[in-house]
Structure 1
C-alpha cells in the first residue's frame, strides 16, 4: 500500500491514494463494499490521518467515511493449546517452542503438502533475526551496519528481551511498529502518540539473544545506543535501576550458554539450566561462596539439591498483577521472567524456578522462585530499610505470591548504586527463643520426611503446621484445610526465615558480578568498557544538550541556571 503514497500523479501533485479514495466514492452505496489498506512499514497517518489533516474534507462530509485504523489484531498465542508441552523437557522442542507468539512461527514449521517439509528451526530463527534488523538479510546487515547501529535498531534488538518502555510520543514508537516487530496497542485520535508493546515472544527473544552474542556485534555499542535513546527521551527512564538489573541478569544467562557446545541447528539460549550454573555466571566468586553451602542443601519436599533447581528465562515481560504459582509455571515453560508491576510491594523482578525433574509432568507444587529487589541509591550505600528490605520485605508473603513457602527460595538484593562493591548475608540478626524453637520443630518434621509420601504441597505444609502448633501459643492450634489464607503472623515469619536464602550485593562491578568480567579477546566488547557502559545506563537521564553544538549546549545551560 505504500506505493499509493509514494507515487504521485503525472503532474506530481496528488498521490495515487488520494485518487483511489475518490474512485471508491463512486461505488454504489448499497453494495456494502469497503477498501482495506494494509502495510508493514508505512506510518498510519498516511492512510488514516487525523480529521484536521485530511486532504479531502468532502470525504468526511459525504457518504464515504474513513474507519478508525485496525491495529488490535489478537493472534498472539492462538496455536499454543494445540501443542501443549507435557513435560518441561518437551517445552524445549521446536514443536512447542514455535507455538508461542505470532502464528507466523508455527505456520512455518508446518507444510501444506505431505511431501514437503516445513522450515528448519534455525531457518525460522534466522528469519526472526532479519525481522529485528528491519527486514534486511542479517549477514548483509551485519557486514554493512555492525559499526554504526542506530538507536532504533538497538531498541529493536534489545526490545524482545529487556522489556523496554518506549515513550508513546517518540518517533521511535511508530518506526518500531512499522519495521521492527513491535505491537501497537493504542493510537491517539490526533495520531501523535502510539502506545506500543513487545509481548513475551520466545522466538524473538531467542533471535535477539543470538544477535546480542554474535561475535561480530559489539554489545557495548548496543548498550550505549540504548543509553542515547534514554537521554533523547525516547525511552522511559524512571526505572533505570531495574532496566540495568534485567540487562545484567540476561548477560549472566547468556554467558552460561557461551560455554556450551551447542550445534548451530539447535535453539541455543532457550533451554533449562540449573540455579547453580546461573549464579556462578552472575556472581563473582567471593559473592557466590556466601550461598554455595545453602545451594547444596537437600530440598525435603523433592529430595533434590536446591542448586539443581531449574530455571529458564530468555526475556522479561512487564506485568500489572501479582503472579500466583500457576502463572509462575506458565512463565517457566515459556521461558520468561517477570518485571513486577509498578509499586509492587517487596520485589521488582521474579524469576520462576522448578525443583523437580525435567521429564516429569509439570506441577505447581514444585514451583519456587528468585525474588529480586533493585535499588539505585547513590548516597545510601545499603539503601533504605536495610536489612528488612532484603529479608522480610523480600519474601513471598510480602510480595503476595503465597503466605507460606514449602521449599527454599532465593532473595537477591541488588543495590546497584553503591560506590563500594561487596556482598553479604543480610539475615544475620539475633533470633528470639520462640523463633529458634519453631525452627527446631520444622527440622524435626523434615529430618525424617520421606519423599515417597507423595504429598501435595498442602499436605506437606499441614504436617509442618501441625507440629508447630504443639505447645506454641502464637501458632494456630488446628490449621484449616486451606493452608493459604489462615496463617498467623508468627507462622509467616517462621516459614520465611526457614526457607529463605538471602544474598545482598552492592555496587556494579566485576568485584561482585562475574558476568561483568570483560573477555578482552571477545569482539563483542572490544573497543569499550562493559562495566562503564552499564554504569552510564544506570545514571542516564534525558539530556537536552545531546547532539547539540557547543553554542547550543551553553544556551541550554543558561536556560536552566539551577
Structure 2
C-alpha cells in the first residue's frame, strides 16, 4: 500500500501483492475470502502454454497480456475498459439478487454469487466473462485515444455508465499537485465504479474488504512491451484513477511466484504521485493462519513403522501434493513434483539453477548473502524452483528464502540425482562453493551432510526392497512405501558406511544393542537454536520446548535429520533412531533414540573430544532408556576408524550405553562405499580441503594496508609501514 504525500487518504491505490512459490496455496487463499462475506472475482492470467490449475481465464488474460504491440494509450484504454466492464457486470449480476433498502444484509446474495464464481468449472463464470467481454468491447469503442480522436459519434448503449462518464470526461483528472499524463478512459471506469458502489448493503462503511478482484499468475504484467511500457504500471494507475476519491473497500490483489508483482505502482517517470511506502505488510504470505503441513497426519494417527507410506508423506509441506491425490495417480504427483522443482520436464544437472534447487531441497545449502549473484539466484528459486519466501526486509530489497521440510519433494529430488546426474550436480555445487556463493559451514558441515545422506541414498539403491516407489513413474497404491523414506537397519547402514569389518571391531555386544534400530532420513533441516534451549520454561505454551522423545519422533515421521545451529555445543547433527522392537511396548515415543554427529574439518586430530559427547548435556537433554550413537567425523586429517562401546553392567541404566565412532579422513579407507564412486569421493574431499590460489604479493600488500586491526601483528597495526613496503 502507498500513501500520497500531503493527503488525508492513506493510499495511492488499493492493491496489494502475494508473492510465493508454486503450490503453496495462493489461489485458494484468495478464493477463501468468500467465506468472510467478501465478494471475490478470481481471474487467472497464466501463460497460454501453462496447463496448470486453476486454468487461464481467457477474456481478462487476452485483454491484459496479449497483442502487446499496441501503444501505451491504447493499452491504457484497454485497462480502463476492462475494469469498467467488470464493475458494470458485477452490478448487473448482483442487483436483482439484493434485498430492498429496508431489508437485512446482502449476505445471502453475496454467498450465492461467490459460490458460483469461485467454482472454477461453473458455467456462471463462463457467462460472467462473456458479459464482461461484450461490455468491454462497447466501452472500448467509446474511449478516445490519440490513435482514434477523429471518431465522433458512438452508440451510447450503456446508460448506467454514460451519465457519470459524460460529466467526468469534461473534468481534469489529475493527481494531487501534479499534472498526470492523460489516462485514456478514466472517466468510464470511475463512472462504472461509482455506480457499482450504489448497490444497497454491499459496500457499507468500514475498512474490511467488501470486493476483492484477484489477479493470479500476474507475472506477465511485469514484462516490458515492445513500445517501452510495463502493463503493470498502467494497471496500477487505472486502479488509482477509480479509487483515489472514494474509500470503499474494493481491493485488487496480484499473486505470483515473482517478486516483480510487489512493485506494480507506476514509477516516477510515468506518473509521479508523490507516493511513499507506509508501515505494514509489504509481502503477504499465503496460509499465514491456515498453516504449512495442513494436510499432514496428526502424530498419533499413524504408527512409526508406517511413516514411509505414500499417503502419509504426501501430506507434508505445501498443500499442492495432497490435493492432487483427488485428481491424479501417484505417477502424476511424483513426476509433477520433479518437473516443478526443475521447471523442466527433464533434469539438466549442468544447469546451475536446476542443480542447486535439487541439492538445496535435500542438503540445506546455505547461500552467502553478500555474493553478487545471491539475490538473482534466490528470486529465481522462488519464481521457478519451489523455493519458499519466508519474509522480506521492509523496503523489499532482500528476501529471506529457503527449502522447508518436504519429504515428498526430497524423494523426487533423490530420484533425479541418482538417475545418473549426481556427479554433474556436485560439480556445479563445487563451482559455487569455490566462487563463494554457497557456504560450507564452519567445520565441514556441508560435506558431512552430503556424505551421510548420499551414503544412505546409495545403500537403499543397492538393496532395493520389492514393491517400493523407486522412480517417478510408479503407478500403484498409496499404501506403498517411498524408497528414500523407508526405514534402514542401523546395523546394515553402518556396515555399508564404514566397511564389512565394522561390527567385528565395534563388538558383538554393540551389534546386539542395535539389532532392532533403524534410521530413515531423506533430507536435512536446519536449527536456529540449541536442541535444549537455555530458557525452556516460557509462558507461551507453543514456545516451550518440545519433549525430547516427541521431538525425535516428529523428525522420524517426516523422515528428516537435523543440522544443528552453529553454536550448538558438542554436536552438529542429529539423526533419529527408531527401535522396532515389540518388547518396548506400543508407545512410539519410548522407542526413539538418536545418532549425534560432530563435524571437524581442521588440520589437527580431534579424536579425544569424542568422549565428551553426551546427550545428557544441558544443551541437548535427549534422555532415553535406549542406547545411542555418537559419531565424530574428522574429515580433514589422515584416515582412521575406531569404535568403543561399554560393556553391559548389571543394574546399570541402558541410557548410558553409547556407541562412539571416530571416523577420520574423507576417502575410501574410512568410507569404503566411496570406492565405487570415485568422482563423488573427489568432489567431497574438495569441499573439505579446497585450496584457494596463493594470493599475489601485490594483493597481500593491499590487504595488509586496508585490514587495519584485523590482527595484532605489525603489518595490520602500523600504518607507517606503507612507506617501506
More deviation, 324-333/277-286: 277-286
Distance 1:50 1:308 in 2: 62
- Using the TM superposition, give the Cα deviation of residue 236 of structure 1 relative to its aligned residue in structure 2, in angstroms: 2.6
RMSD: 3.3
Q: 1:76 to 1:515 in 2, by over 3 A?
A: farther
Question: Where do 1:248-327 residues align within 5 Å?
Answer: 248-259=451-462, 260-263=464-467, 264=471, 265=474, 267-298=482-513, 306-321=514-529, 322=531, 324-327=548-551
- Using the TM superposition, give the Cα deviation of residue 277 of structure 1 relative to its aligned residue in structure 2, in angstroms: 1.7
| 2:683 equivalent among 515, 533, 537 | 533
Distance 1:46 1:541 in 2: 43
| 1:390 maps onto 2:610 in alignment | yes
Contact persistence 2:598–2:633 (CA under 8 A): yes
Contact persistence 1:410–1:502 (CA under 8 A): yes
Contact persistence 2:507–2:645 (CA under 8 A): no
- Using the TM superposition, give the Cα deviation of residue 345 of structure 1 relative to its aligned residue in structure 2, in angstroms: 0.9
Q: Larger relative CO (CA 8 A, sep 6+): 1 or 2?
A: 1
**Residue 201 of structure 1 corresponds to which residue in structure 2?**
406
- Using the TM superposition, give the Cα deviation of residue 286 of structure 1 relative to its aligned residue in structure 2, in angstroms: 4.3
Q: 1:542 to 1:31 in 2, by over 3 A?
A: farther
Question: Where do 1:100-111 residues align within 5 Å?
Answer: 100-109=316-325, 111=326
Q: 1:124 to 1:351 in 2, by over 3 A?
A: same
**Residue 334 of structure 1 corresponds to which residue in structure 2?**
558
**Residue 633 of structure 2 corresponds to which residue in structure 1?**
414
- Using the TM superposition, give the Cα deviation of residue 50 of structure 1 relative to its aligned residue in structure 2, in angstroms: 11
SS of the equivalent of 1:425 reads: strand
| 1:239 maps onto 2:442 in alignment | yes
| 1:376 maps onto 2:526 in alignment | no
Q: 1:121 to 1:277 in 2, by over 3 A?
A: farther
For each residue in 1:323-345, what CA deviation from the matched residue of structure 2 results, as whole angstroms up to 9, or x when unmatched? 62210011011100111122111
| 2:251 equivalent among 34, 44, 55 | 34
| 1:401 maps onto 2:606 in alignment | no
For each residue in 1:20-49, what CA deviation from the matched residue of structure 2 results, as whole angstroms up to 9, or x when unmatched? 111001224232112211122x3x145428
SS of the equivalent of 1:373 reads: strand
More deviation, 155-164/191-200: 191-200
Distance 1:357 1:426 in 2: 24
Question: Where do 1:59-138 residues align within 5 Å?
Answer: 60=275, 68-71=282-285, 73-74=287-288, 75-81=291-297, 85-109=301-325, 111=326, 118-134=327-343, 136-137=344-345
Q: 1:297 to 1:90 in 2, by over 3 A?
A: closer
- Using the TM superposition, give the Cα deviation of residue 351 of structure 1 relative to its aligned residue in structure 2, in angstroms: 0.7
Contact persistence 1:510–1:516 (CA under 8 A): yes
Contact persistence 2:305–2:580 (CA under 8 A): no
Distance 2:687 2:332 in 1: 34
| 1:517 maps onto 2:675 in alignment | yes
Report the number of matched residues. 451
Unaligned runs of 5+ in 2: 1-217, 475-479, 533-547, 705-714, 716-725
Distance 1:159 1:403 in 2: 28
- Using the TM superposition, give the Cα deviation of residue 352 of structure 1 relative to its aligned residue in structure 2, in angstroms: 0.9
| 1:187 equivalent among 392, 409, 427 | 392
Distance 1:66 1:405 in 2: 46
Contact persistence 2:443–2:602 (CA under 8 A): no
SS of the equivalent of 2:512 reads: coil
Q: 1:316 to 1:426 in 2, by over 3 A?
A: same
Q: 1:515 to 1:23 in 2, by over 3 A?
A: same
| 1:21 maps onto 2:232 in alignment | no
Give the number of the structure whose alpha-carbon radius of gyration is greater: 2
Q: 1:542 to 1:334 in 2, by over 3 A?
A: farther
SS of the equivalent of 2:621 reads: coil
SS of the equivalent of 2:660 reads: strand
Q: 1:283 to 1:45 in 2, by over 3 A?
A: same
Contact persistence 2:411–2:522 (CA under 8 A): yes
- What's the TM-score, normalizing by structure 2? 0.57
- Using the TM superposition, give the Cα deviation of residue 556 of structure 1 relative to its aligned residue in structure 2, in angstroms: 6.5
Distance 1:402 1:67 in 2: 38
**Residue 460 of structure 1 corresponds to which residue in structure 2?**
none
- Using the TM superposition, give the Cα deviation of residue 307 of structure 1 relative to its aligned residue in structure 2, in angstroms: 3.1
Q: 1:355 to 1:162 in 2, by over 3 A?
A: same
- Using the TM superposition, give the Cα deviation of residue 502 of structure 1 relative to its aligned residue in structure 2, in angstroms: 0.6
- Using the TM superposition, give the Cα deviation of residue 90 of structure 1 relative to its aligned residue in structure 2, in angstroms: 2.7
Contact persistence 1:50–1:189 (CA under 8 A): no
**Residue 365 of structure 1 corresponds to which residue in structure 2?**
590
**Residue 472 of structure 1 corresponds to which residue in structure 2?**
none
SS of the equivalent of 1:185 reads: strand
Q: 1:104 to 1:72 in 2, by over 3 A?
A: closer
For each residue in 1:428-479, what CA deviation from the matched residue of structure 2 results, as whole angstroms up to 9, or x when unmatched? 9xxxxxxxxxx8xx73337xxxxxxxxxxxxxxxxx5xxxxxxxxxxxxxxx
SS of the equivalent of 1:352 reads: strand
Contact persistence 1:172–1:234 (CA under 8 A): no
Distance 1:399 1:55 in 2: 61
SS of the equivalent of 1:203 reads: helix
